[in-house]
Copies of this chain bind each other. A is one copy, B any other.
Amino acid sequence: MYEGVVQDLIDELGRLPGVGPKSAQRIAFHLLQADPVDVRRLADVLLEVKAKVKFCSTCFNVSEDEQCRICRDPRRDPSVLCVVEEYKDVVAIERTREYRGRYHVLGGAISPIDGIGPDQLRIRELMTRLADGVVTEVILATDPNLEGEATATYLTRMLKVMDLRVTRLASGLPVGGDLEYADEVTLGRAFAGRRAAE
């Protein structure tokens, strides 16, 4: 429908997650009229990301070096290991400034529908990391959804044989929310996990 290269651009943009045909068109038209300098900067950063960004050889976090900042940081507690699904979960947890241990990024969650079983995740690498006995607590911080729960259950079973404390993040009411708007599962978990008032 569009002049060749414009259609190519719409097609490429339409392959991005969350970008439907309409948005792809809108973005393409924006780029057509945009300053060439801005478009070149976007193209450059795309190439740079692929050239520079690697995955940490220890924890599989995103990194510009062989080892990520967190694995290299001697102030991080090597005895606590937080297992997450994705790099973005590391970022979310780092943002809290609550956690001073290290990470292990699985690369997803068990999801039979999507053909993702334990072998597709970095579980073997996790076991290898735990073998030297330095880690004494593993915090399972997978997503609180079906796939995340399945992954946590699977890992709990695998880790049971090791001399480790295995913990999970607390479920409950989100801070700042209204109790009446909480879904029943969350509210149920909040009851089950109730603690003595201080």
Q: Give residues in A with beta carbon < 8 Å to B.
A: 1-6, 8-9, 12-13, 15-19, 23, 25-32, 36, 38-50, 52-53, 62-64, 68-69, 86-88, 91, 94-95
Contact = CB atoms under 8 A, between A and B. Distances in A.
A2 B62 contact: yes
Which secondary structure characterizes the binding site on chain A?
helix
Contact of A46 (B16, B18, B39, B64): B39
Copies of this chain, tallied across the complex: 2
B27 A69 contact: no
A17 B30 contact: yes
B39 A4 contact: no
A129 to B, nearest CB: 21
B30 A53 contact: no
B16 A49 contact: no
B32 A46 contact: no
Given A29-B87, A32-B87, A86-B29, A49 B5 contact: yes
